[in-house]
Amino acid sequence: MSLRLDRLAVQLDWNLLRTFMVIIQERSITGAATRLNVTQPSVSAALRRLEERLELRLVERGSGQSFVITRAGEAVYREALEIYGGVVRLNDIDASDGLSLAGNLVIHRSSHLETERIMNVLADFRRQHPGVTFSVRSVSCADVTQALLHRISSIGFCTRVDPSIQRLEAMALTPQEFGAYCGPAHPLYRQQVADPALLAESDIVGFEEDQIAGALSTLTRFRMRHGIGARFIAAASGIVDLVDLIESGTAIGFLSRGHAVRYGFKLWQIPLDVPPPVVEVYSLVDSERLMSPLEVALLEHLETEGIARQPRRRSEV
């Protein structure tokens, strides 16, 4: 190791790298300062010190707080993510026998997904490894992707995959069938035959991603194709809120059948004379992430159950 590299390894402050990570993730100095609960000048100073220490220009400053990350900055960001992952994996070290299958696993899932089978498989994994805990976070499909790209999540489950992000390996799972539902106040409630005119003039409520450019565009196109709904009046980020909107109002909403059975005690599935819409479901894994032994074990378990597969780094493809 050269004298310069040795000095860098000894003297570089990890907090500078962490601050740089947050700057890139938040895409602004202001956002990074808010997230880190420090002042904007402190964040700017940390970025400047990191550039001086590395002797690299990491970002090109624009007007105000705007900036563009340089190629060197992108490389440093990737390395910082790996370092961060290594620090987090220190939680998996047991004093008695070194690396053990214990620790917390973060999993991100789309809030509109029905995940009963996935949760059952995770529960089975935890029964085999009692020292394991899970943090399951329900977010939008876009946030599932970002959580994986930022090394926050071990695995993600969503209904849309961005083919341009090659490092995220997607595995298609069993698609989910959705149905049209209404509450007691809707004129189609308990009706065995759906009046096309009532379907066409009904208001619609749905998930935030139920739009033509959203992750649930399948539902939007289905309604347009079959003349269901006059206007979209309310959006919900989670299943409980959407069920409340349908049950307490006079609008129609589309839910996965599993969710409707579990949460919609007063819901009525409107009989349609066309096949129901089907939404694709995927598991996502970052192929460039250096997995901890705990994460490897989880993915092996999920692969056995047909829910995910171990990623292959590009060098292995």
CB 106 within 8 A of CB 154: yes
Among residues 108, 166, 162, 179, the alpha carbon closest in space to that of 140 is found at: 108
Tens of pLDDT, residue by residue over 43-56, are 889 898 888 888 88
Orientation of helix 14-26 relative to helix 29-36, angle to 10°: 120
The reported pLDDT for the residue numbered 30 is 85
Give me the architecture of the 3-89 domain, per CATH.
Answer: Orthogonal Bundle (1.10)
Is 231 in a helix, a strand, or coil? strand
Give the pair of three-digit tokens for residue 35. 């997230």
Q: Do domains 3-89 and 176-279 have the same CATH topology?
A: no
Dihedral angle at the C-alpha atoms of 20, 25, 31, 34, nearest 10 degrees? -70
Tens of pLDDT, residue by residue over 12-33, are 777 888 888 888 887 788 888 8
Tens of pLDDT, residue by residue over 231-259, are 999 999 999 999 999 999 999 999 999 99
Quickly name the fold that domain 176-279 has.
D-Maltodextrin-Binding Protein; domain 2 (3.40.190)
Domain 101-174+281-316 in CATH 3.30.1360.170? The answer is no
The reported pLDDT for the residue numbered 88 is 62
Distance in angstroms (rounded) separating the CA atoms of residues 58 and 51: 6
pTM: 0.71
Domain ranges of the chain: 3-89, 101-174+281-316, 176-279
Tens of pLDDT, residue by residue over 86-125, are 666 565 555 444 455 788 899 999 999 999 999 999 999 9
Among residues 150, 144, 93, the alpha carbon closest in space to that of 288 is found at: 150
Distance in angstroms (rounded) separating the CA atoms of residues 313 and 315: 5
Give the whole-number percent of the chain exceeding pLDDT 90: 54
Q: What's the mean per-residue pLDDT of the chain? A: 86
Is 211 in a helix, a strand, or coil? coil
Tens of pLDDT, residue by residue over 165-219, are 888 999 999 999 999 999 999 999 999 999 999 999 999 999 999 999 899 999 9
